[in-house]
C-alpha cells in the first residue's frame, strides 16, 4: 500500500482524456502500459480515452485494459481482471421480468386497498418503484428500514398510502427473487465491487490501476476508489475538483448531520465530489493536481486557467455570491466564452448548426454540441444535412419515435380503437408498411382507402368497413392480415404475452422482415421478444385498450444509439452523460433554460422527501448539482458557445440559473455573439419582399349554369365560386368527421322527405322515422346523445304545425323537388324542401336546423334563396307545381324562447320590421340575380377573393387563395 492515498484531480480547463493519457504514459514503457488497468465511468469515456491514447502515441501502442465501471454486468464485461470467480454472486434478475413482477405486485396491492389501477399505470409505477429500490440498494439502505419508520402523523394521506404500498411490495419482492434464484442488478454490482476491493487489498494487480473521471458517489464505488488510491501502483483521478474553493464555501456544501439543522447545498457542482471524498475518507487537502499530458496539437487543447477561477466564482453557493461586487476583473473574465440568445428553438438549432459548420472551415478543428434537449439535438442534426454533414446524437433516440417503434404503437392503437378510420389510416400510411408489394402500389391502395373512409365514422371493427372500387380490392387483401389481431383484441382483458404475440404477427404480416432490420429494428425485435417472454410475470389481465399506453411507456425507455464511425470525424452531439470526459476545440452548451439544463428533478412517487431524509438517501436535487458540474466542465474548452431560446414550443421560457449566474457575475464581459445570431436570421431571409396580391382570376370560359344556393357564394366570395365551379376543386370531408350542421340538415331533410312521400305527412309517423334514423349504426354516438332530445321536440313541433295547417286552408303540395329556368343568359336551378298550397297562391318552405338568415342580410341582397325558388315556381320551372309565390318561410328546428322549432320569414305583406314586402320578393331576387349573372357569368368581372367578407363565411378555399397573406392589408 502507498504511504498516502494517491488522489488527483484534473481541472476543468484541461482536456481530461488527453491530460489523463499524458500522465499515464509518462515514465512508462509499452510493456508497463499494457499491464495497466484503467477504470472509467462509461463506455463513451472508454472510447474517449482510447482515442486519446491513439493521438498521444502517434503510431502503434499496446493499450492498458479500459473497463467501464458503470456496466451493470461488471464481472462478465471486464474480463479476467475483474472476474470474481471464487464466489460469484447469483445472476441479476432480467430487467423486464423485474418490471412486470413489480407491476403485478403494485396492481394487486392497489386492488386489495380498494384503489384499483390499470395495467399500463401499474407498469409505469413499477418503473418508478424499481428506480427507488435501486437508490436504496446503491446507497446500501436496507429496504427493511422502511418498517422501522413511524412518520404517519407527518405524512399526507397520499404519501401514507404510497408508503404503505411500497412497504408491502418490498416485503413481497425478496420472495419473488428467491423463486427466480436471482438478485437485483444494483445489489449484484455492489457485491462485485466489494469482492474486487477485497481481492485487491490482499492481492493487488501486478500493473498499475487508475480510476478516472468516476462521478458515482455510491458507498461501494467510493470504497473501491479508496482501495485503488491506497495501492502502491494505484491512482484515483477526479474531474474538476475545485482545490481553490474557499474553505468556508467548501464547508457549507455539506452533507451535514441530520440533527445539525443545516441543509446541504446539493445543487452545487462540487457537492457530489465532496460527498465522494467523504465516503473515501479523504480530505480535500490530500488531493493534488494531476501532472503531465499537455495540450494535444489540434485536438483537445487546454483553455485559459484564468477562466476556471471565473467559472468557480459564478457557481459559488448563493450565500457567497455577494463577493461578486469585489472581484477583480481577471477573476470574472470569461475570455473565449460567447453567448447567443435566440427567439425560438428553431433559431437556436440553426445557430448551432452554423457554428458547427463554421468550425469545419479551420483545418483540424473539432466541435461538439452538448445538450440535454434531445429535440434540439435532432433539429441540429437535420440542419447540418443541408451541407451534407452527418452528425449523430450519441445519446441516441428513444425507440418510441423511430419507425419500428412507431409502427408497433400505431398497430396497438388501431387495434385498441377497433380499427377506427384515423388509427387505421395512420397504420397503413406508416413508411414500413407495404404488405410485401412495391411501395407505390401499396400507397395507391392506401389513398383509395383514404378517400373511401372520409366522412362520419363507420361502425366499429374490420367488418364495419365497406369501401368501394379500388379501395374494396385493396381492403380484401389487407383485412386478413389484421383479422387475427382484431379477434384477439375483441376477447377483452387477457394475459400480455398473447397480445404481444398477435401484435408481432400482425406487424410481420404488414411489414415483413424490414421491420426488424437496422439498429432500431433489432432493438424493436429484442424489446418484443423480452416483453413476450416476461409479460406473463406481470399483471394477470391486460385490457387491449391499455396496450398503447403501456408500450409507449416502455418504448420511451429504450434508447437506440447510432453506429460508431458513421458521423463526421470532427463533429459530435452529446447528451450530458456522454459528454463527460469529452473535449473539443469548440464546445457548444445549449438548451440553457430552466427545466432543461438543469432539468427539473423527477419526483419520487413512492417516498416523500421527509422519508428519503429519514433513510439517509441523497436528495433528488443532487441531479441539479451534477448538471451544474457538467456545465462547468463544458466551459473548460478552449472556445465555448452557450445558447438558449427565449421561448420553448408553446410559451416564454426562463433562462437557466446557470446562464443567469454567468450573466450576473460577468456583467458586460458576458460576450454576446451578435454576428452569429444575425447569420442565423439572415440565412433563410429573403432579400426582397413581394406581397401576395388579392387573387382575382379572369378565366376565358365561365359557367353558364348556377344553383340558387350558389348565388350568395358567387356574390360574396367570387373566388370561392371560381375554385368550385371553374377549377372543379371540391373539399374532401375529414376522416372520422364529426357530423356537421350540413350533415344534420341533410339527415332532417331525408326524414321529412320520406315522411311526405312514404307516410303522407301522417303526424304519428314522423317521430318513429326520426328515431330509426338516430339508431342507425352510422350515426355518431355523440350526435345521438346530444341531438336526440332536441330533434324529438323539434319534429313534434313540425308534426303539430302540419296538423294545424290541415285544419285551415293550407296543405302540403309537394316536397323535395327540383327545377330550373333560363334567365339572364344562364340556367338557374334550385331544389325546394316543401311547397304548400295557400288561398292566395303557393308558399315556399325551407327547413333549417340552425338559425335562419337575418332580415339585414336579405336587404343587403344576400340570402335570397327563397325568392329565387319562388321565381322558378312562378315561371314554371317546377314540373308538378306552380303559381304565384305568396309566402316565404323558414321552418327552423333551433331553439327560440322555451321551445325548439319556430317559423321565420324574410318578408312581410306590408314590409314591417324592415322586411321586404312579400309581393316584391321575387322581383327583387330576379333583379339581384340578373346583376350577378351579368357581372360574373356572362360578363368579364374578375372572381375577386372575399369581395364581401361579412357574407363570405366559407373557409374551404382560404388556403388556396392564400388569405392570411393579404387579408386586411388592403
Please determine, for residue 943, whether its predicted confidence score (pLDDT) is greater than 50.
Answer: yes
C-alpha grid cell, residue 810: 293550407
pLDDT (average), residues 727-741: 82
Contact between 877 and 819 under an 8 Å Cβ cutoff? The reply is yes
Rounded distance between C-alpha atoms, residue 165 and residue 169, angstroms: 6
Tell me the pLDDT tens digit for each residue of 470-510.
899 999 999 999 999 999 999 999 999 999 999 999 999 99
Please determine, for residue 290, whether its predicted confidence score (pLDDT) is greater than 80.
Answer: yes
49-63, 139-153, 306-320, 517-531 — which is least confidently predicted?
139-153
pLDDT given at position 80: 45
Please determine, for residue 752, whether its predicted confidence score (pLDDT) is greater than 50.
Answer: yes
Please determine, for residue 432, whether its predicted confidence score (pLDDT) is greater than 80.
Answer: yes
Please determine, for residue 592, whether its predicted confidence score (pLDDT) is greater than 60.
Answer: yes
pLDDT given at position 946: 94
Q: Which residue has the cell 380498494?
A: 114
Q: How confident is the model at residue 30 (pLDDT cuts 50, 70, 90)?
A: confident
pLDDT (average), residues 179-198: 91
Tell me the pLDDT tens digit for each residue of 755-775.
777 777 787 878 887 777 766
pLDDT given at position 38: 94
pLDDT given at position 145: 81
- Long-range contact list for 742-750, CB < 8 A, 24+ apart? 743/456, 744/783, 744/787, 744/849, 745/847, 745/848, 745/849, 745/850, 747/773, 748/791, 748/847, 748/849, 748/893, 749/816, 749/833, 749/847
267-271, 720-724, 801-805 — which is least confidently predicted?
801-805
Please determine, for residue 531, whether its predicted confidence score (pLDDT) is greater than 50.
Answer: yes
Averaging pLDDT over each range in 768-772, 822-826, 891-895, which range is the top one? 822-826
Please determine, for residue 70, whether its predicted confidence score (pLDDT) is greater than 50.
Answer: yes
Please determine, for residue 556, whether its predicted confidence score (pLDDT) is greater than 60.
Answer: yes
Q: How confident is the model at residue 780 (pLDDT cuts 50, 70, 90)?
A: low
Cα-Cα-Cα-Cα torsion 758, 763, 769, 771, nearest 10 degrees, comes to 180
pLDDT given at position 650: 81
pLDDT given at position 288: 93
Please determine, for residue 82, whether its predicted confidence score (pLDDT) is greater than 60.
Answer: no
Number of Cβ within a 10 Å radius of residue 481 = 17
Tell me the pLDDT tens digit for each residue of 862-873.
999 999 999 999
Q: What is residue 393's DSSP assignment? A: B
C-alpha grid cell, residue 825: 343568359
Output 82 or 693, whichever has higher pLDDT: 693
pLDDT (average), residues 208-221: 92
As to burial, measured by CB atoms within 10 angstroms (0-12 exposed, 13-18 middle, 19+ buried), residue 809 is exposed
Please determine, for residue 221, whether its predicted confidence score (pLDDT) is greater than 80.
Answer: yes
pLDDT (average), residues 534-540: 93
Q: How confident is the model at residue 300 (pLDDT cuts 50, 70, 90)?
A: very low
Q: What percent of the chain has pLDDT over 90?
A: 51
pLDDT given at position 295: 39
pLDDT (average), residues 217-228: 93
How would DSSP label each residue in 130-165?
HHHHHHHHHTT--GGGGGG---GGGS-HHHHHHHHH
pLDDT (average), residues 353-368: 94
139-153, 447-461, 902-916 — which is least confidently predicted?
139-153
Q: Whole-number mean pLDDT of the chain?
A: 87
Amino acid at each position: 500500500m502507498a504511504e498516502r492515498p494517491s488522489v488527483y484531480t484534473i481541472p476543468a480547463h484541461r482536456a481530461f482524456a488527453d491530460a489523463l493519457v499524458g500522465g499515464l504514459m509518462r515514465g512508462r514503457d509499452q510493456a508497463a502500459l499494457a499491464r495497466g488497468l484503467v477504470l472509467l465511468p462509461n463506455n463513451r469515456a472508454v472510447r474517449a480515452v482510447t482515442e486519446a491514447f491513439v493521438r498521444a502515441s502517434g503510431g502503434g501502442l499496446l493499450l492498458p485494459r479500459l473497463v467501464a465501471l458503470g456496466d451493470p454486468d461488471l464481472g462478465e464485461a471486464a474480463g479476467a481482471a475483474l472476474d470474481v470467480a471464487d464466489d460469484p454472486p447469483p445472476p441479476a434478475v432480467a430487467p423486464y421480468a423485474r418490471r412486470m413482477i413489480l407491476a403485478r405486485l403494485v396492481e394487486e396491492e392497489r386492488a386489495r386497498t380498494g384503489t384499483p389501477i390499470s395495467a399500463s399505470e401499474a407498469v409505469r409505477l413499477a418503473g418508478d418503484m424499481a428506480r427507488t429500490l435501486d437508490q436504496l440498494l446503491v446507497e446500501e439502505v436496507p429496504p427493511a428500514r422502511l418498517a422501522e419508520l413511524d412518520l404517519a402523523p407527518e405524512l399526507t394521506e397520499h404519501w401514507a398510502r404510497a408508503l404503505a404500498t411500497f412497504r408491502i411490495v418490498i416485503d413481497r419482492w425478496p420472495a419473488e427473487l428467491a423463486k427466480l434464484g436471482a438478485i437485483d442488478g444494483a445489489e449484484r454490482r455492489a457485491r462485485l465491487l466489494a469482492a474486487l476491493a477485497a481481492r485487491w487489498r490482499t492481492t493487488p494487480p501486478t500493473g498499475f490501476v487508475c480510476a478516472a473521471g468516476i462521478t458515482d458517489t455510491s458507498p461501494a464505488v467510493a470504497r473501491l476508489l479508496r482501495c485503488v488510491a491506497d495501492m502502491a501502483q494505484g491512482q484515483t483521478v477526479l474531474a474538476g475538483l475545485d482545490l481553490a474553493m474557499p474553505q468556508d464555501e467548501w464547508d457549507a456544501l455539506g452533507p451535514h448531520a441530520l440533527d445539525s439543522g443545516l441543509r446541504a447545498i446539493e445543487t452545487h457542482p462540487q457537492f457530489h465530489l465532496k460527498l465522494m471524498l467523504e465516503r473515501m475518507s479523504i480530505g480535500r487537502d490530500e488531493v493534488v493536481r494531476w501532472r503531465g499530458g499537455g495540450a494535444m496539437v489540434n485536438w483537445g487543447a487546454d483553455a485559459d486557467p484564468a477562466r476556471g477561477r471565473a467559472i468557480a466564482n459564478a457557481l459559488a453557493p448563493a450565500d457567497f455570491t455577494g463577493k461578486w461586487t469585489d472581484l477583480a476583473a481577471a477573476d470574472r473574465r470569461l475570455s473565449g466564452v460567447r453567448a447567443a440568445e435566440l427567439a425560438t428553438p428553431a433559431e437556436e438549432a440553426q445557430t448551432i448548426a452554423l457554428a458547427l459548420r463554421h468550425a469545419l472551415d479551420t483545418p483540424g478543428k473539432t466541435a461538439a454540441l452538448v445538450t440535454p434537449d434531445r429535440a434540439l439535438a435532432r433539429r441540429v442534426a437535420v440542419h447540418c444535412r443541408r451541407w451534407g454533414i452527418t452528425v449523430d446524437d450519441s445519446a441516441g433516440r428513444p425507440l418510441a419515435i423511430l419507425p419500428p417503434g412507431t409502427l408497433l404503437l400505431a398497430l396497438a392503437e388501431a387495434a385498441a380503437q377497433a380499427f377506427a378510420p384515423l388509427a387505421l389510416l395512420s397504420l397503413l400510411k406508416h413508411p414500413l408498411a407495404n404488405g410485401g408489394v412495391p411501395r407505390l402500389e401499396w400507397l395507391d391502395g392506401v389513398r383509395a382507402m383514404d378517400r373511401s373512409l372520409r366522412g362520419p365514422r363507420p361502425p366499429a371493427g374490420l367488418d364495419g368497413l365497406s369501401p368501394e372500387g379500388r379501395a374494396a380490392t385493396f381492403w380484401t387483401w389487407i383485412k386478413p392480415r389484421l383479422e387475427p389481431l382484431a379477434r384477439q383484441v375483441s376477447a377483452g382483458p387477457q394475459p400480455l404475452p398473447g397480445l404481444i404475440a398477435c401484435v408481432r404477427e400482425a406487424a410481420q404480416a404488414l411489414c415483413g422482415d424490414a421491420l426488424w432490420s437496422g439498429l432500431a429494428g433489432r432493438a424493436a425485435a429484442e424489446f418484443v421478444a423480452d416483453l413476450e417472454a416476461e409479460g406473463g410475470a406481470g399483471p394477470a389481465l391486460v385490457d387491449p385498450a391499455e396496450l398503447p399506453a403501456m408500450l409507449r411507456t416502455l418504448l420511451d425507455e429504450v434508447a437506440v444509439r447510432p453506429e460508431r464511425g458513421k458521423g463526421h470525424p470532427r463533429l459530435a452531439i452529446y447528451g450530458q452523460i456522454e459528454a463527460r470526459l469529452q473535449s473539443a476545440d469548440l464546445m457548444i452548451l445549449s438548451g440553457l433554460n430552466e427545466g432543461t439544463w438543469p432539468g427539473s428533478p423527477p419526483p419520487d412517487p413512492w417516498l416523500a422527501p421527509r422519508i428519503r431524509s429519514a433513510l439517509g438517501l441523497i436528495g433528488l436535487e443532487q441531479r441539479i448539482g451534477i448538471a451544474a458540474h457538467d456545465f462547468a466542465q463544458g466551459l473548460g474548452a478552449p472556445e465555448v458557445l452557450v445558447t438558449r431560446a427565449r421561448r420553448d414550443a408553446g410559451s416564454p421560457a426562463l433562462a437557466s440559473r446557470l446562464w443567469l449566474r454567468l450573466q450576473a457575475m460577468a456583467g458586460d464581459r458576458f460576450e454576446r455573439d451578435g454576428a452569429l445570431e444575425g447569420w442565423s436570421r439572415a440565412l433563410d431571409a429573403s432579400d426582397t419582399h413581394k406581397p401576395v396580391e388579392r387573387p382575382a382570376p379572369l378565366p376565358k370560359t365561365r359557367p353558364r349554369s348556377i344553383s340558387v344556393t350558389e348565388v350568395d357564394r358567387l356574390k360574396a366570395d367570387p373566388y370561392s365560386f371560381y375554385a368550385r365551379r371553374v377549377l372543379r376543386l371540391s373539399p374532401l370531408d375529414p376522416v372520422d368527421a364529426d357530423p356537421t350542421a350540413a350533415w344534420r340538415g341533410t339527415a332532417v331533410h331525408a326524414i321529412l322527405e320520406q315522411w311526405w312521400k312514404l307516410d303522407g305527412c301522417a303526424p304519428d309517423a314522423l317521430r318513429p322515422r326520426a328515431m330509426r334514423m338516430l339508431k342507425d349504426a352510422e350515426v355518431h354516438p355523440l350526435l345521438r346523445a346530444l341531438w336526440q332530445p332536441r330533434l324529438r321536440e323539434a319534429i313534434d313541433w313540425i308534426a303539430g304545425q302540419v296538423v294545424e295547417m290541415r285544419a285551415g286552408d293550407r296543405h302540403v303540395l309537394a316536397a323535395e323537388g327540383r327545377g330550373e329556368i333560363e334567365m339572364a343568359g344562364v340556367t338557374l336551378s334550385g331544389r325546394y324542401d316543401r311547397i304548400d298550397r295557400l288561398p292566395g297562391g303557393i308558399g315556399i318552405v325551407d327547413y333549417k336546423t340552425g338559425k335562419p338568415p337575418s332580415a339585414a342580410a336579405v336587404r343587403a341582397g344576400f340570402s335570397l334563396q327563397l325568392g329565387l325558388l319562388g321565381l322558378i315556381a312562378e315561371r314554371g320551372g317546377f314540373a308538378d307545381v306552380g303559381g304565384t309565390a305568396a309566402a316565404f318561410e323558414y321552418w327552423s328546428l333551433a331553439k327560440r324562447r322555451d321551445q325548439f322549432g319556430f317559423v321565420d320569414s324574410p318578408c312581410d305583406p306590408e314590409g314591417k320590421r324592415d322586411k321586404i314586402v312579400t309581393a316584391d320578393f321575387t322581383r327583387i331576387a330576379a333583379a339581384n340575380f340578373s346583376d350577378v349573372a351579368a357581372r360574373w357569368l356572362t360578363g368579364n368581372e374578375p372572381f375577386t377573393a372575399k369581395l364581401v367578407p361579412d357574407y363570405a363565411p366559407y373557409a374551404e378555399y382560404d388556403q388556396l387563395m392564400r388569405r392570411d397573406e393579404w387579408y386586411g392589408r388592403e
